Amino acid sequence: MPPKKNDISFFFNPRSIAVIGASPIPGKLSYVILENLKKGGFLGAIYPVNPKYKFINEKRCYSSIAEIGSDIDIAVIALPAHVVAESLKSAGKKVKGAIIVSSGFKEMGDEGIKLEQDIKEIAEKNRIRVMGPNCLGIYDTISNVDTFFIPRDRIGRPDKGGISIISQSGSFAGTIMDELAYEGIGVARVISYGNRVDVGETDCLEFLTDDDATKVVALYIESIDDGRRFIDAASRCTRKKPVIAVKVGRRDAGVHAARSHTGAMTGRYEIYSAAFKKAGIIEVNGYEELKDACRVLNVYSLAKAKRVLIITDGGGIGVRIADACDNSGLEVTGLSEEIKKSLSSKLPPFCSVGNPIDLTGSVTDEYYITALEEGLKDGFDIAIVTVLWGPPQLSEELVDKLKGAIQRHNTPIIICSPGGKFTKKINSIFEGKGMPVFSTPESAVRAATILAS
Amino acid sequence: MPPKKNDISFFFNPRSIAVIGASPIPGKLSYVILENLKKGGFLGAIYPVNPKYKFINEKRCYSSIAEIGSDIDIAVIALPAHVVAESLKSAGKKVKGAIIVSSGFKEMGDEGIKLEQDIKEIAEKNRIRVMGPNCLGIYDTISNVDTFFIPRDRIGRPDKGGISIISQSGSFAGTIMDELAYEGIGVARVISYGNRVDVGETDCLEFLTDDDATKVVALYIESIDDGRRFIDAASRCTRKKPVIAVKVGRRDAGVHAARSHTGAMTGRYEIYSAAFKKAGIIEVNGYEELKDACRVLNVYSLAKAKRVLIITDGGGIGVRIADACDNSGLEVTGLSEEIKKSLSSKLPPFCSVGNPIDLTGSVTDEYYITALEEGLKDGFDIAIVTVLWGPPQLSEELVDKLKGAIQRHNTPIIICSPGGKFTKKINSIFEGKGMPVFSTPESAVRAATILAS
């Protein structure tokens, strides 16, 4: 099968990587990249390139790409902006793809735009696919490629998992990756494509559509290069896996002093929002929602519909969750008479048998399981189980009991557990067992809303 | 000066507390209350009352209130619902106020309503002010009263501070208190008044208005007893200190199956919202916002207006914050030409000198301080300083440098620091130094929105 026109899959399974501008000096970007390729366990060939050195950390350093005996899949270029084009030129046709991590291009104004144009021309001539410039590149748990030049003690690297992230912004990609690593949520591929001189959101989306390692795609979008192509690609992807997107930069540059331009700003944003909808993309509103979406989609598939069962041991929090569900378009419908009757016979009289089911402060671990098992018989699409840990009869064993209930049902069960020290300890037990736990009513409802999208 | 008609101040500086239904059995509510009064350091007289015991933990136990030689400021009643009225009756006029923590009243239907009515009548006859039933009562860092019957290892107790909380819901009060304790945010008084047979939100608000220990009032409202009196009291309070409120229970009971009733539900909620506005109360939307409000008002006073300066070292996060500010009605206006010029001369050329000021991944600690000092000269009302800790030249010393800047300026400076392990370590340093730090762009903007209310 001939490679597809926009195929960029070699970026995600390279046999060889050259690091152009390699340095033995700790702290330099290229040093961090070499370290991360080693630490990450990349098994292909690594070629440091820099005419200044013969060896870098006891590894042979090449004076130029020409000097390397074989073809190169990826050249990671970490050179000052004004010499990047020259380096690409000297690579000739020996390199399939380049990841240009250097900054100092379009974002710096006219001169930078010119430098970027030069890169574009040389790349097209030499048929080199280019990611960047001004990007972090790729963090990949399948190929173990890691060109993110931020040390691992500053930005954690997630384990292997099913989420892939496509982000124009490097800082956004790095920060969300760091959070996922901290929460023990795995990723497949994280891509920061920066100034998009060539490879952009749609190329990446097309690759991830057919990537078996990717179960969920998260997009951070500042702008889209080719709307029609994007919608086609995204429509194909959303038929295979959930795609979530956050659009930032809702305001036009330059209008911030002119509040009267609000109409225009909104209009522009709404075009993106309509495009997402058309393509079946789940739009989320900002960083918090994106994080909540990653957490819940890491574990659960999308729900069939919007009916939510709420179980709580604190009336006030239960009511707040019901409010937030209403506001988000979820349906907190009542229980059937049959289930009410059966719950009333199995729970003590002080429990409130409605939706929410309020088990009150006299709750025990068992009441939760009874409420969940009986309540779910009413055909709900999602359950939100809120546990306040004040009631002294509640024990850590509830964690395993809830895990058992989750395993017995296809219905996604979202745990909401807000509170301080004791609660945080329990929440880390939930997380250790792979159960996503939400620490505010609002974040639990955001997660439910994502699933009901 | 004769006591005011609705004066309930004796609940907050009692000389004596009787615990009715006191028990030596660990786990019983009354046992926990006795323990907490001791552990909390309440210095007044404590009288356990229970005819079954002569002594409880080597302390004399009284068979009835009548047996106690002196008058009692507060009787905390922890008896089964059906004997509470009898106990109040036997107290006669010896007791000023009762906190009835027992449940099994109005929330249990007709029989409970009848029991509550009995309590009301006896209390009025004996001129006893009643808090509850079905409540947690009072946690007070000034008088050291603690009738919250949840053990301290489950629900943490905040240190002394300026926030006071009035909540109908005990679970809500307990949970937010536990979170504040965990985050090191202090409180003055926390009041859970439950079924409101007598003392309600307005009595508490009136007390807190003149309470010097209370700098900020947070209200959790399910319903308001007397709208006109509430608005009058709240208007008086908001002239002296910020009052924030969350209204939960936005849906009418019974309408959840009938979506067509939405109009009526909204209308009801909007009456509350309008009342809050009229009284100068800052309305927040749910638990997350209430928490953000407590955190930021614990440290900063309300801002003069809505102009926000954004400083960041990650372009994407900066843009997201600007978006969220726009959505919340904050004004992210540009810098003056003068300040732009001065910033351009003091920062390297790769920094973007606008609003946001983007210091990029090549940032150092000093750039932040330069950007903040220069930017604030443009008369902003609030600054949001976002720090992504990936850039290797950023150090822990930035925490102290930012603290210095906060101390030099009257303008509230909100720190936003999202990320994983390294970031959380730094954030705990911020918190240890009394600086509120927000871990998502959205929560930082919520905090700014509160200040600009």
Closest CA to B211 of B190, B182, B181: B190
Residue A301 token pair: 């598939």
Partners of B187 on chain A (C-beta within 8 Å) are none
pLDDT above 70 for B4: no
Sign of the alpha-carbon dihedral angle for B277, B281, B287, B292: positive
Q: CA-CA distance, A320 to B248, in Å (whole number)?
A: 5
Largest Cα–Cα separation, chain A:
82
A1 found inside a domain: no
For the stretch A70-99, pLDDT in tens is 999 999 999 999 999 999 999 989 999 999
Show the tokens assigned to B347. 């920062």
In a domain, B3, yes or no: no
Q: Answer whether A184 touches B (CB < 8 Å).
A: no
Rounded to whole angstroms, the Cα distance separating A92 from A99 reads 15
* B307 and B291 in a common domain: no
Which residues is B307 bridged to in the sheet? Answer: B331
DSSP class of B69: S
Whether residue A302 is contained in a domain is answered as no
Which among B220, B251, B355 is the nearest to A323, CB-wise?
B251
At how many degrees (to 10) do helices B287-297 and B441-451 cross?
60
- Whether residue A3 is contained in a domain is answered as no
Residues 145-164 (A) with a CB less than 8 A from some CB of B? 150-151, 153-156
Among B296, B320, B349, the domain-final residue is B296
B175 Cβ contact partners less than 8 Å away, ≥ 6 residues apart: A314, A317, A388, A390, A418, A419, B155, B287
Report yes or no on B51 lying in a domain: yes
Q: Are B316 and A167 inside 8 Å of each other by CB?
A: yes
Residues B321 and B447 in one domain: yes
Residues B47 and B34: their CA atoms lie apart, in Å, by: 9
Q: Which residue has the higher pLDDT, B265 or A25?
A: A25
The number of C-alpha atoms within 13 Å of B335 and in the hemisphere containing its C-beta is 26
Determine contact: B433 vs chain A, CB below 8 A: no
Q: Which residues of A touch B326 (CB under 8 A)?
A: 250-251, 265
Question: Which of A60-69, A190-199, B265-274 has the least mean pLDDT?
Answer: B265-274
Least confident of A101-115, A151-165, A331-345, B296-310: A101-115
Look at the block and give the residue holding tokens 């009513």: A441
**Across the interface, do B422 and A291 touch by the CB < 8 Å criterion?**
no
Instruction: Give the structural domain span for A408.
Output: 308-451
Enter the ipTM.
Answer: 0.93
Same domain? A52 vs A167: yes
Q: Residue B174's closest chain A neighbor by CA?
A: A390
Instruction: Judge if B341 and B442 occupy the same domain.
Output: yes
Answer whether the bond into residue A133 is a cis peptide, omega within 30°.
yes
> DSSP letters along A38-70, please?
HHTT--SEEEEE-TT-SEETTEE-BSSGGGSSS
Kindly state the average pLDDT of the residues B326-349.
96
Q: Is A80 on the interface with B (CB under 8 A)?
A: no
- Which one of B296, B325, B352 terminates a domain? B296
Place A3 in a pLDDT band, splitting at 50, 70 and 90. Answer: low
What is the distance, to the nearest Å, from the Cα of residue A400 to the centroid of all Cα atoms in its chain?
28
The percentage of residues in chain A with a pLDDT greater than 70, rounded to a whole number, is 95
Distance in angstroms (rounded) separating the CA atoms of residues B147 and B138: 5
For chain A, the domain total comes to 2
pLDDT at residue A313 in the model: 96
> Looking at the structure, do residues B310 and B286 belong to the same domain, yes or no?
no
Q: How many CB pairs under 8 A join A and B?
A: 236
Interchain pair B418, A259: CB under 8 A: no
Q: B29 phi and psi, to 5 degrees?
A: -50, -45
**B46 and B158 co-located in one domain:** yes
Do B291 and B309 have their domain in common?
no
User: CATH no. for residue B60?
Assistant: 3.40.50.261
Give A-chain residues touching B319 at CB under 8 angstroms.
169, 222, 248-249
- Most B CBs within 10 A among A178, A339, A353, hence the mutation to make, goes to A178
A429: CB partners within 8 A, 6+ apart: A396, A399
Helices A227-238, A262-279: inter-axial angle, 10-degree rounding? 40
Tell me whether residue B2 is in a domain: no
Q: State whether residue B270 sits within 8 Å of chain A by CB.
A: no
User: Residues B19, B76: one domain?
Assistant: yes
| Mean pLDDT in residue range A359-379 | 96
Last residue of some domain: A297, A325, A357? A297
Within a domain: residue B1? no
> Over 90: is that where the pLDDT of A10 sits?
yes
Distance CA B28, CA B185 (A): 29
> pLDDT tens digit string along A202-261?
999 999 999 999 999 999 998 898 999 999 999 999 999 999 999 998 765 434 433 333
Whether residues A337 and A361 fall in one domain = yes
The token duo for A229 is: 């192509």
- Same domain flag for B441 and B394: yes
Residues A150 and A98 in one domain: yes
What would the pLDDT profile of A395-424 be if each residue is shown by its tens digit? Answer: 999 999 999 999 999 999 999 999 999 999
**Rounded CA separation B269/B290 (Å):** 18
- With CB atoms and an 8 Å threshold, state whether B317 touches A249: no
Q: What is the 3-state secondary structure (H, E, C) of A407-431?
A: HHCCCCEEEECCCCHHHHHHHHHHH
Separation between Cα atoms, residue B413 and residue A116, nearest integer Å: 38
Tell me: pLDDT of B265 over 60.
no
Residues A228 and A254 in one domain: yes
Tell me if chain A has a CB within 8 Å of the CB of B356: no
Q: Do B171 and A423 touch (CB under 8 A)?
A: no
Amino acid A107: pLDDT = 82
> Residue A355: closest CA among chain B residues belongs to which residue?
B256
pLDDT confidence of residue B108: 82
Distance from CA of B180 to the nearest CA of A (A): 8
pLDDT in tens, A18-42: 999 999 999 889 999 999 999 999 9
**Sheet containing A243-247: order of strands:** A137-140, A187-192, A160-167, A216-221, A243-247, A282-284
Give the integer Cα–Cα distance in Å for A383 and A311: 8
Q: Is the peptide bond before A242 cis (omega within 30 degrees of 0)?
A: no
pLDDT above 90: residue A384 = yes
Burial zone of A68 (CB within 10 Å; 0-12 exposed, 13-18 middle, 19+ buried): buried
Q: How confident is the model at residue B259 (pLDDT cuts 50, 70, 90)?
A: very low
pLDDT at A270: 86
| Per-residue tokens: A117 | 């144009």
State the SS3 of B16-47: EEEEECCCCCCCCHHHHHHHHHHHCCCCCEEE
Nearest-angstrom CA–CA distance, A349 and A359? 10
For tokens 């001169």, the residue is: A111
* Cα–Cα distance measured from residue B290 to residue B296, given in angstroms and rounded to the nearest whole number: 10
Rounded to 5 degrees, what angle do the CA atoms A166, A172, A173 make?
Answer: 45
Mutation target to probe the B interface, by most B beta carbons within 10 A, among A154, A165, A428 is A154
Q: Does residue B127 form part of some domain? A: yes
* Contact residues for A171 (Cβ-Cβ < 8 A; gap 6+): B313, B314, B315, B316, B317, B361, B388, B390
DSSP β-ladder status, B352-353 and B308-312: unpaired
Which residues from B are below 8 Å from A419, CB to CB? 155, 175, 178-179, 182
CB distance B263 to B251 below 8 Å:
no
Indicate the residue of B156, B172, B256 with minimum beta-carbon distance to A420.
B156
Q: Do A316 and B169 touch (CB under 8 A)?
A: yes
